Copies of this chain bind each other. A is one copy, B any other.
Amino acid sequence: MTRQKIGILGATGMVGQRFIQLLEHHPWFEVTWLAASDRSSGKRYGDAVRWKLDTPIPARIAQLEISPAQPEGAPKVIFAALDSDIARELEPRFAEAGCAVISNSSAFRMQADVPLVIPEVNADHLAILEHQQWRKQSGGYIVTNPNCSAIGLVLALKPLEEIFGIESIFVSTMQAISGAGYPGVPSLDILGNVVPYIKNEEEKLQEETLRLLGSLQGNLVQPLDARIAAHCNRVAVEDGHTESVSIKFRRKAAREEILAAWAGFAPLAGKDLPTAPAQPVEFLDAEDRPQPRLDRMRGRGMAASVGRLRPCNLLDWKFTVLSHNTIRGAAGAALLNAEFLVSLGKLAPSAVHA
């Protein structure tokens, strides 16, 4: 089987680096094209990047020359890890040119005809990509994954929503510094400190959560009819967003029912997607877990860990959820979206299934 050639837009940033790391031995995809800012264009990737991961740059990738950020010469499948402003301008150009743009950016997440998808949660929303103008004209499209703070929460909520119905959600986050990219958060701001503010984060977390848990009605996603209030904080953690959550259900849920819902949640079972975790939501029984340093790599960084399930005085239940913000919360999320699109035959299928 020939591997699908893929390109990465924004290859030198933190999420771009994670794409390269996660794709190094990918059975279906092969990185053949990298683009970054004009400043880097024409340089070898190894010279242009400030590599910040704890595995070395794959040798082949280090030698790749960085291309201009234009669709000409790019492969037909593009992972995009761009800042929102730049994504708003560049991603449509690639979609117009017939590319499948698998985007981690927030730019189009709330646009009516752009799917915002977690395969385990709302894969059916992918249907709306057929209504994109780009799709109709060139075959290209944009598909997005959520904000890093929303993914873990939504994975934990989805099996509960299906069974008990969710009425209200309170979430207070403690987010890792890698979520802000590089150079990102100055060390003087976070060492021995907490910053109780991340720009636009509460808004994204609130609205993306309801859209992801929403239902497809015709060509449109109807957000979940529930109330959600988020507090977003930055803490001195390298990777892994931890979230304190309270929820109110529409019908009464016993502790054992909740645990069973999480344990039984395996919507991708049988699909054999290389990046999908066997168990998307892992419940940890110890009273002081999950913890980012110890649990973020569960399911190779793709599982959400939950723990501390206990009654809430105000809503029904309290728990803690944790997920890796640059794997499950960014590059791994996009990669899983791409793999799911392959399973639908929508990601340049001829190349992959030849």
Contact = CB atoms under 8 A, between A and B. Distances in A.
A297 B193 CA distance: 13
A192 B190 CA distance: 11
B54 A293 contact: yes
Contacts of A323: none
A172 B54 contact: no
A320 interface: yes
Contacts of A291: 189, 193-196
B187 A190 contact: yes
Contact of A229 (B177, B183, B188, B246): B246
Copies of this subunit: 4
Contact of A52 (B169, B287, B292, B294): B294
A32 interface: no
A318 interface: yes
A314 B227 contact: yes
B187 A177 contact: yes
A288 interface: yes
Interface in A52-68: 52-56
Interface residues of A, number: 63
Contacts of A313: 206, 227-229
A185 B191 CA distance: 11
Given A192-B191, A197-B287, A297 B233 contact: no
Nearest to A284: B56
Interface string A282-312: 0000011111111111100000000110001
Contact of A187 (B189, B287, B318, B320): B189
A328 to B, nearest CB: 15
A354 B193 CA distance: 46
16 contacts: A52-B294, A53-B294, A177-B187, A182-B188, A183-B186, A186-B186, A187-B190, A191-B192, A192-B236, A192-B292, A194-B235, A194-B237, A195-B291, A229-B313, A231-B320, A233-B242
Interface of A: 14, 51-56, 168-170, 172, 174, 177-178, 182-197, 206, 227-229, 231, 233, 235-238, 242, 244, 246, 287-298, 307-308, 312-315, 318, 320
Given A54-B297, A196-B320, 15 more contacts: A52-B188, A170-B246, A174-B194, A177-B188, A184-B188, A186-B186, A189-B291, A192-B236, A197-B288, A197-B308, A227-B314, A229-B246, A229-B314, A229-B315, A235-B235
Q: Ordered nearest first, which 9 A-B pairs have the shortest CB separation?
A: A172-B172, A231-B244, A183-B186, A229-B314, A197-B288, A193-B293, A196-B320, A187-B187, A229-B313
